Structure 1
Amino acid sequence: MTYIQFIKKNIRFLSFGFLLMFFSSFGQTFFISLFNNEIREVFKLTHGQYGLIYSIATFISASVIIWLGKFIDNIDLRNFVLIISFGLVFGIAILCSSNSVIFLCIAIFLLRLFGQGLMPHAAMTSMTRYYSYDRGKAISISSLGLPLGEIALPTISIFLISAFGWKFTWVSALILISISIMPIRYILLKNHEIRHHKWEKENNFLQQEEKAKAIKSFTRTEVLLDKKFYLIIFSILSPAYIMTGLFFHQIHLFETKGWTLNLLAGAFALYAIITVSSSIIIGKLIDLYGSKKLVIIHLIPLGLGLLILSQFTNSLAAILYLSLAGITVGMANSLLSSLWAEIYGTIHIGSIKSLVTACMVFVSALSPFMFGWGIDFGINIENIILICAIYTVISSLNLFLLFRKT
């Protein structure tokens, strides 16, 4: 089935996943970091102090995701989406009205929990669960919502911040999400119980088939006891760690390099376009070859981009870095959701995905703090980036050793 045929047949459910990924932008570091200077000025925080607050809030949200994320296996998807949407709206409302560091921490916690964590978790778990034969296509199409946010939101936000202020920009986001919640719940997920019942029937059949073939579907506890899981996690979460740290401190990075905010907005748009293209291409390849073979090479472009960024100050370096990073991120968006299903099965995919999402949030909690304190203590940003490049090389070698025989 071609992409066009697949989209026509599944337009509503794919739109649901697409919109959840788009709205997750408001909890992602690339968006929140656009307000770093204003937030640090209002609350009188250094790079390291704000990075610490951001990391602690993100770290706590990751702990909560492990518990909350598993409920997608038990709660009606439509109600799960309502809960996480209202949670994100509440977080934005607190941020806009906060006048103390304590409320800032609470707001960031809610943005990271419901925006960065549970919205992508709901979207990707749903695509992974309800599509068996076109899983790669479903994941790649729905994941395009996030690159759309990366294309549109920086330019729009920079304009709104300069024209109306940072709080007005966040209020605009709040209104957009609020007016979209009910159409998502009652139109895009209409008759979802039919889809779920069909999946349950297919799942029962697969369980019987797996028993006959002695194929095992892992529970989350069994995944935690699998040593290979930790080796995989160390490597595949390197983009989340690196890109979160660089996106969080991107204003400082661009100021250090002597680059303008207009270059930042333009480079981000290119980054998002390449992410989209990479995601579409890899979705088809996953359906043809599987994730295990492709995951081995997906970190190479990011490593090259980081090496360029660490060595050059020409504005072309920013474009090359974000372009190459976009290739890796686009591949990762699709690969990492399907990889777990290939390794551990789909019966307990919701609880397994919540574990992986929590791990992703954990590592993304570390880098803003670590990068921020490094900057405060005078460590050159180029040296930080070079260390990140070395991390991608080690991760690529590890993935090669794990999956070279597949």
Structure 2
Amino acid sequence: MTYLAFVRKERRLLSFAVSFTFFSSFGQTFLISLFVPYFLTAFDLSNATFGSLYSAATLTSAVALPWLGQWIDRIPLRQYSMYVAIGLLIASLVMAVSWHISMLFIGLILLRLSGQGLSGHTAQTTMARYNDQLRGKALSISGIGYPLGEAILPSIIAGVLVLFHWRTTWALIAMVIAIFFIPVLWFLIRSEKTAVDDEIIEEDKPSASDQYKLLARDARTWYVVPAILMPPFWVTGLFLYQVSAADQLGWSAALIASAFVAFAATRIATGLFSGPVIDRFSAKTIFPFLLIPMIIGLLVGFFFSGGWAAFVYLGLIGATMGFSSTIKSALWAEMYGTKVIGTVQSAFASLMVFSTALSPFLVGWLLDQSVTMNSILMIAVISSVLAGIVSLKIMPVFSRK
């Protein structure tokens, strides 16, 4: 089935998933970072103090994610998706009324949990349950919401912040979620019947704790974890310190900012391209090649300082991120089945959130120790190469399972 025919056939369910990945932006670092200068002024915080607060909020959401994420395997999707959307609404309202640092902390936890964590989790789990022949296409299309959010929302939010107070801006975000996001979700999913709706009453389904134990005992889990964590780990750390990176690598801050167009473009392109490839060859076959574009991009940043190199550097990193958003969920379905895909995905999503909380500490510490950005890029290259080698163990030609 072609992409166009597939979109026509499943336009409601695909729109549901893209809506979730797009609105997950409100819990992502790239959007929250626009408010950081206002947080520092309003609550009299230093950069280091806010960084610790933000990391603590991210880690807290990572702890809650496995327990909340597994419920998508146990209650109807309509009900679960409404809970997640309402959670994002509450998070925005808390940010709008956060007159004390404790309220800011609670708001950040809820944003990271409902936005970064559960919104993407809901979309990807829903698409991962799609039939085996078209799962890759479904995941590819659902992932478009991520780069669309990255391309559209920062300029809109920056413009709104010029006109309104930051708390008013969060109130406006809450209004958009209440008036548009939640009603649209309900319209798109109200008549859909998904696999989980037929499976939640099964008595032989393992509990979440049993499923997590099975994952930990499965050697394949540990073969894929390093390669799964490398992209979000290094992207978060390097992007958070992108100004320092640009200066040391011979690029201006304006150049690196404009080069993010290449990041968004390749993320969309590779995300769409990877779907048919997965459907044809399987996620297990192509997963070990996931990190190759990012590794090449990091090497370009290491060896070259011309303006073109910034676009290639970010473009190739975006390529890996585009592949990753599609391959991961398809891989879980192939390795562990679709009946408990939500539980499995929430476990790996929690590990990912943990990694994105730790990477700013590592990169920041290395910079404080006068380690050059070139050296940090080489560390990222070496760790990614090793992770890719380990992941070869899951390829069908090498795997015994």
Distance 1:359 1:315, change over 3 A: same
Aligned to 1:213: none
Aligned to 1:304: 296
Comparing 240-249 and 344-353, the one that deviates more:
240-249
Aligned to 2:170: 170
Residue 272 (structure 1) aligned with residue 247 (structure 2): no
Aligned to 1:368: 360
Comparing 283-292 and 367-376, the one that deviates more:
367-376
What's the secondary structure of 2:288's corresponding residue?
coil
1:394, CA displacement in angstroms?
1.3
1:56, CA displacement in angstroms?
1.5
Comparing 111-120 and 306-315, the one that deviates more:
306-315
Aligned to 1:329: 321
Q: Identify unmatched segments of 5+ residues in structure 1.
A: 208-217
* Contact 1:254 1:260 survives alignment (8 Å): yes
State the distance in 2 between where 1:66 and 1:197 align: 17
Residue 119 (structure 1) aligned with residue 119 (structure 2): yes
* Contact 1:128 1:139 survives alignment (8 Å): yes
Counterpart of 2:391, as a letter, is: L
State the distance in 2 between where 1:263 and 1:183 align: 40
Counterpart of 2:119, as a letter, is: M
State the distance in 2 between where 1:170 and 1:390 align: 41
State the distance in 2 between where 1:302 and 1:43 align: 38
Number of aligned pairs? 392
Instruction: Report matched runs for 1:93-132 at 5 Å.
Output: 93-132=93-132
Distance 1:166 1:315, change over 3 A: farther
* RMSD over equivalenced CA pairs, Å: 2.7
Candidates 222, 225, 228, aligned match of 1:233:
225
Residue 281 (structure 1) aligned with residue 291 (structure 2): no
Residue 356 (structure 1) aligned with residue 354 (structure 2): no
State the distance in 1 between where 2:176 and 2:253 align: 25
Aligned to 2:398: 405
State the distance in 1 between where 2:261 and 2:26 align: 16
Counterpart of 2:301, as a letter, is: L
1:134, CA displacement in angstroms?
0.7
Distance 1:27 1:359, change over 3 A: same
1:247, CA displacement in angstroms?
2.9
Question: What does the per-residue CA deviation read over 1:77-104, in whole Å, with 9 as the maximum and x for residues that have no partner?
Answer: 1121121112122222222332443322
1:128, CA displacement in angstroms?
0.9
Q: Which has the higher contact order (CA 8 A, sep 6+)?
A: 1
Counterpart of 2:240, as a letter, is: F
Taking structure 2 as the reference length, what is the TM-score of the superposition?
Answer: 0.88
Counterpart of 1:405, as a letter, is: F
Question: What does the per-residue CA deviation read over 1:195-225, in whole Å, with 9 as the maximum and x for residues that have no partner?
Answer: 4488659x99xx9xxxxxxxxxx94431121
Candidates 271, 284, 290, aligned match of 1:292:
284
Aligned to 2:207: none
Residue 181 (structure 1) aligned with residue 181 (structure 2): yes
1:250, CA displacement in angstroms?
3.3
Distance 1:184 1:255, change over 3 A: farther
* Contact 1:22 1:146 survives alignment (8 Å): yes
State the distance in 1 between where 2:237 and 2:99 align: 26
1:39, CA displacement in angstroms?
2.9
Aligned to 1:393: 385
Comparing 337-346 and 86-95, the one that deviates more:
86-95
State the distance in 1 between where 2:97 and 2:197 align: 45
Comparing 40-49 and 175-184, the one that deviates more:
40-49
* Contact 1:48 1:376 survives alignment (8 Å): no
State the distance in 2 between where 1:20 and 1:189 align: 12
Question: What does the per-residue CA deviation read over 1:283-338, in whole Å, with 9 as the maximum and x for residues that have no partner?
Answer: 00000000111111110111122233345554433322210011101101110000
Q: Identify unmatched segments of 5+ residues in structure 2.
A: 205-209
Aligned to 1:211: none
Residue 316 (structure 1) aligned with residue 308 (structure 2): yes
Distance 1:12 1:166, change over 3 A: same
* Contact 2:129 2:195 survives alignment (8 Å): no
What's the secondary structure of 1:130's corresponding residue?
coil
Distance 1:252 1:152, change over 3 A: farther
Distance 1:8 1:82, change over 3 A: same
The alignment-based identity, stated in percent, is 36
Counterpart of 2:398, as a letter, is: K
Counterpart of 1:125, as a letter, is: T
* Contact 2:196 2:339 survives alignment (8 Å): no
* Contact 2:17 2:124 survives alignment (8 Å): yes
1:33, CA displacement in angstroms?
2.3
